[in-house]
């Protein structure tokens, strides 16, 4: 029998299809009935995430209009050159109380808003009002009226661990109900805005402009964070996003709902992070805690007995990781609340009870020093400062007789009239003792007396 090429090719094709069919049948038989998917959880919680559209205006000052001649030359008269500029913005929000219509979002989403429109997942639009907004935490609470809202259950951000899977839901670049997934990259991030109260969850789940105010959800479908900020050079996602922990958000929300604003307790200390050098100098086991540099006069800290040089390691039994976490912990409490502060003092743990106040700490500046000037090249960090033995003063130590403006010494906080009493925790009476205390040390920590009060200055 003659086997023609066409017939041979056809038989090979039939054999190949038969083999593929057998492979598919075997593969299908090995697949589980329920392939792992986030879809069921997302379908359940997505209706609680809303789109927020904001319109408003901001005051705009035209510097040209301040000059009468330029105002007439450019025909500004009658045009209200120092009027308002219309703005539009968009973000996301999370329904957290369907019965009362409360929606959590970011302060920066609704800032300067005159009209707020909330669009639900079914494309219905509702008018919203601001219940309260707090710039310090970048949180705001809105309220809408609707009987068919679906809320997202609260989770516990305190139980999050680095490596936990999370999902971000929001409206990036106007694309509604966008879902991205990732993990918790880090916890307790702060320092993005020094004036804010920060304790961020860092995640690599894609967060982009428009995600602000949206939900960070765990795999149980619980709200664990409010997406707030990104680190980006281009304005898009590079895998570093930040969310406000839901435990912090709930505390702020309670105050906003009850009072319309947030009133924060103040301990009245100026603090700094613990670096490896500081940890070695103070004999600490690790870099956790916040170093007290200044104790404000008549502050809660002073009344409780907190001292300059104390390292605060806990508040109400919760660990203080750094200065940012201490600021956030105290900032969540109201004035008048009692707190248990754990400190390390001279290498020993001490428990201190304090009642938080409201008055900000004030630093009292000393009067100008006398004209008896001297200088000593202790270290480059002291450049611009002239020092002399405080022989005629009541407090033994080194007198800072002069500090040049914008010099390294001035930039580190030294002022004319300061009396340096300790260097690296060692009492000094003259320049020689100060030099010995600095020799071989990677850090330089001064304890100075200023206006009758002690404070720490970190020179290096």
The tokens describing 106, both together, are 């970011």
The catalytically annotated residue of 212, 288, 299, 416 is 212
| Residue 244 contacts residue 250 (beta carbons within 8 Å) | no
Whether the CA torsion 66, 69, 71, 74 is positive or negative: it is: negative
How far is residue 419's CA from residue 333's CA, in Å, rounded to a whole number? 36
Q: Which residues pair with 341 in a beta bridge?
A: 315, 352
The tokens describing 451, both together, are 């206006």
| Active-site annotation holds for 138 | yes
How far is residue 400's CA from residue 414's CA, in Å, rounded to a whole number? 8
How far is residue 99's CA from residue 95's CA, in Å, rounded to a whole number? 10
Closest alpha carbon to 255 in 246, 264, 267: 264
Closest alpha carbon to 49 in 210, 261, 241: 210
**Length of the chain (residues):** 460
Under 8 Å CB-to-CB from 78, ≥6 apart: which residues? none
> Which DSSP string corresponds to 163-222?
T-EEEEEE-GGG-TTEEEEEEEEEEEE--SSTTS---EEEE-S---TT-TT-EEEETTS-
The tokens describing 97, both together, are 């109380």
The catalytically annotated residue of 92, 107, 108, 418 is 108
Which one-letter DSSP state was computed for residue 439?
A: T
The catalytically annotated residue of 138, 199, 204, 322 is 138
How far is residue 94's CA from residue 246's CA, in Å, rounded to a whole number? 11
Cα Rg of the chain (Å, integer):
31
> Which DSSP string corresponds to 211-241?
-TT-EEEETTS-EEEEEEEE--SSSS--S-E
Beta carbons within 10 angstroms of residue 56's beta carbon: 17
3-state helix, strand, coil in the chain (%, to 5): 25, 35, 45
How far is residue 183's CA from residue 154's CA, in Å, rounded to a whole number? 19
Catalytic residue IDs: 108, 138, 212
């Amino acid at each position: 029998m003659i086997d023609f090429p066409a017939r041979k090719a056809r038989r090979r094709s039939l054999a190949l299809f038969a083999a593929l069919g057998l492979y598919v049948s075997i593969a299908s038989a090995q697949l589980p009935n329920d392939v792992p998917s986030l879809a069921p959880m997302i379908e359940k919680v997505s209706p609680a995430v809303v789109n927020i559209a904001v319109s408003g205006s901001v005051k705009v000052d035209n510097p040209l209009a301040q000059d009468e001649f330029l105002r007439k030359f450019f025909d500004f008269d009658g045009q209200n050159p120092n009027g308002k500029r219309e703005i539009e913005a968009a973000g996301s929000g999370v329904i957290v109380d369907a019965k009362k219509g409360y929606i959590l979002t970011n302060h920066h989403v609704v800032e300067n808003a005159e009209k707020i429109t909330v669009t639900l997942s079914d494309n219905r639009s509702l008018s919203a009002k601001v219940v309260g907004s707090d710039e310090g935490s970048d949180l705001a609470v809105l309220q809408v009226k609707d009987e068919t809202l679906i809320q997202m259950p609260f989770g516990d951000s305190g139980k999050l661990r680095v490596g936990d899977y999370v999902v971000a839901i929001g409206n990036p670049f106007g694309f509604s109900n966008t879902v991205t997934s990732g993990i918790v990259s880090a916890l307790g991030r702060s320092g993005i805005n020094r004036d804010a109260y920060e304790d961020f969850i860092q995640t690599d789940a894609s967060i982009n402009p428009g995600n602000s105010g949206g939900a960070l959800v765990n795999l149980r479908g619980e709200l664990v964070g409010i997406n707030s900020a990104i680190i980006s050079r281009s304005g898009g996602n590079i895998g570093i996003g930040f969310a406000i922990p839901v435990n912090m958000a709930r505390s702020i929300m309670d105050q906003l709902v009850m009072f319309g604003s947030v009133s924060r307790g103040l301990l009245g200390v100026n603090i700094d992070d613990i670096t490896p050098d500081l940890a070695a100098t103070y004999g600490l086991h690790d870099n956790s805690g916040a170093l007290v540099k200044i104790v404000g006069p008549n502050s809660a800290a002073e009344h409780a007995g907190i001292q300059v040089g104390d390292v605060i390691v806990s508040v109400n039994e919760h660990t203080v990781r750094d200065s940012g976490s201490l600021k956030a912990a105290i900032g969540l409490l109201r004035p008048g609340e009692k707190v248990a502060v754990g400190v390390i003092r001279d290498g020993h743990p001490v428990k201190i009870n304090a009642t938080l106040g409201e008055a900000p700490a004030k630093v009292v500046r000393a009067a100008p020093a006398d004209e008896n000037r001297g200088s000593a090249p202790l270290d480059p960090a002291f450049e611009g400062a002239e020092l002399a033995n405080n022989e005629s003063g009541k407090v033994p130590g080194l007198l800072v007789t002069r500090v040049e403006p914008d010099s390294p010494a001035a930039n580190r906080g030294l002022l004319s009239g300061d009396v340096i009493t300790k260097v690296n925790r060692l009492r000094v009476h003259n320049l020689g003792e100060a030099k010995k205390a600095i020799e071989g040390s990677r850090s330089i920590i001064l304890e100075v007396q200023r206006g009758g009060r002690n404070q720490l200055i970190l020179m290096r």
